Each structure stands twice: as structure tokens, then as C-alpha cells.
Amino acid sequence: MKLNPLTTLSIIAAAWIVVLGTDNPIVFAIVTISALSAGVAATRGVSFLITALAIIAPVAASISIIHIPFGDTPLMPLVTAEGLARATHLSFRFTAIMASMLAGVCLMSVPDLSKALQASRLNHKISFIIGSCAQFLPQGHSIYRTVRLANQIKGRKVTIINAITTVLIPTVIHVLNTAPERTLALEVAGIDQPGQRSVYRPVPDHRLEKLARPLILILACAVVWAWR
């Protein structure tokens, strides 16, 4: 059964609550593995992992540069034990948060999400932000396929060594360039305007899902409370 997008958002929020509330590497690993598995199953390919890596790797590198040099126990020049432990912990936590969000986007249809948000009582600014973010992964997947096709047409063989310059960087640049297009589409649909709307064909929302959404968040808070 296909979940209502609002239910998927509730699951993402619950994952974030558990990750941030427990702040435990075991929880990070469980959430990350579950999210990556769900994302790969939804996309049926490795493009999800490439997109996730393109987002997570630069942030993890920035975290490492900021934290690794600072600590009381030097391991080698510009590397301390405390800084390395802190950077690893923060990188794993960010990976769990981002992986859960990306997996949730894969499991949602962007048009269904937009319709569900318009029919909800959610603030229009939040709806606009969520709608814009939800378009990121599908467009990123499409751009990745275009870049891969361009490399094939040129006869360029992509390897681990040149993957960053031939695939990763062009994909990221094109994704950033399409940001105005995502914004324009939402503005044309009027999602950035205040007020609740109706749609011709509402997204199916089973009564059990309406009941489950707050329960999912309550359960996540209970897990955090029990963990502590």
C-alpha cells in the first residue's frame, strides 16, 4: 500500500527525533542502513547512493576539517584523538539524518506531496520549503543519468579515479543550476501563497494513517525518553 506523503514525512520526523534525541552511534547505524536500503529499493539502482554520497561527503569533509585538529591528544600533525572522535560522531549523525530524508523523498511522489500539503493546515512557507526540497532527488537522479549518458556518448570511461570530475562535480553543478526551476514551479502552483486549498483529486489518506501519524511521533519521543 502506498503511504500518504504526510505519513512519510511523519516517519522522517520520527527518525530525526530518535537520531538527535539518542545521539548514539548504534542508532545512527540502524537508521542509516534502513534508510539507504529503502532508498536503493525505491530507486532500483545505485543512483540513490551516488546522490547521497554527493551530499554527505562534502559536509563530512567540512566537519573533519573543523574538528579534527582540535584536542588534547595528538595522533599526528593536525590530527587529535578527541577531534577525530568528535568529527566521526557528527559525520555519522549527519549521515543518518540526511539518509532518512533522502529515502523519504524517494518513497514520495512530488505531485502527491504538493497536493497533500495544499490540502493540509500546514503553514504555506513550510509547505513551500518541503515542496522545493522534495523535487531535489528526482531531478538529481535525472541529471545523473544525463551526465552518465554524456560520458558514454563521448566514449569516456568512468573510473573510481575520475568519477569526481566526470560525474560528481557536473551532477552537483547542474542540480544547483536547476534550483530556480524548482522554485518557479511551486510559485506557479501558488504553494507560496497563504491559505488552505482544495484539489480536484485529493491524495488518498486512510483513517488509520491519520491516526498513525501522531502515534509515530509519540513513539519516537518515547524511544528517546526510554533510551535516556
Confidence grade of residue 184 (pLDDT, cut at 50, 70, 90):
low
Residue 19 has pLDDT above 80, yes or no: yes
Is the CB of residue 194 less than 8 Å from the CB of residue 124?
A: yes
Q: Per DSSP, which regions of 69-173 are E strands?
A: 74-76, 79-80
For residue 132, the model assigns a pLDDT of: 66
145, pLDDT greater than 70: yes
- pTM confidence score: 0.71
User: What is the mean predicted confidence (pLDDT) over 175-182?
Assistant: 71
Pairing of strands 79-80, 74-76: antiparallel
Res 191: pLDDT: 59
- Please answer whether residues 126 and 173 qualify as being in contact, where contact means their C-beta atoms are separated by less than 8 angstroms: no
Contact predicate 114/46, CB 8 Å: no
Distance CA 133, CA 32 (A): 20
pLDDT one-digit tens code per residue, 96-130: 999 998 888 888 777 777 777 776 666 666 666 66
Q: Which residue has the higher pLDDT, 110 or 215?
A: 215
Nearest Cα to Cα of residue 38 among 6, 15, 61: 15
**Rounded CA gap, 52 and 37, in Å?**
12
Q: CA-based angle 13:111:216, to the nearest 5?
A: 20
Report whether pLDDT(14) > 90: yes
Q: Is the pLDDT of residue 143 over 70?
A: yes
Cα 32 to chain centroid distance, Å, stands at 11
More confident residue, 118 or 14: 14
Q: Determine the average pLDDT of the residues in 191-202.
A: 63
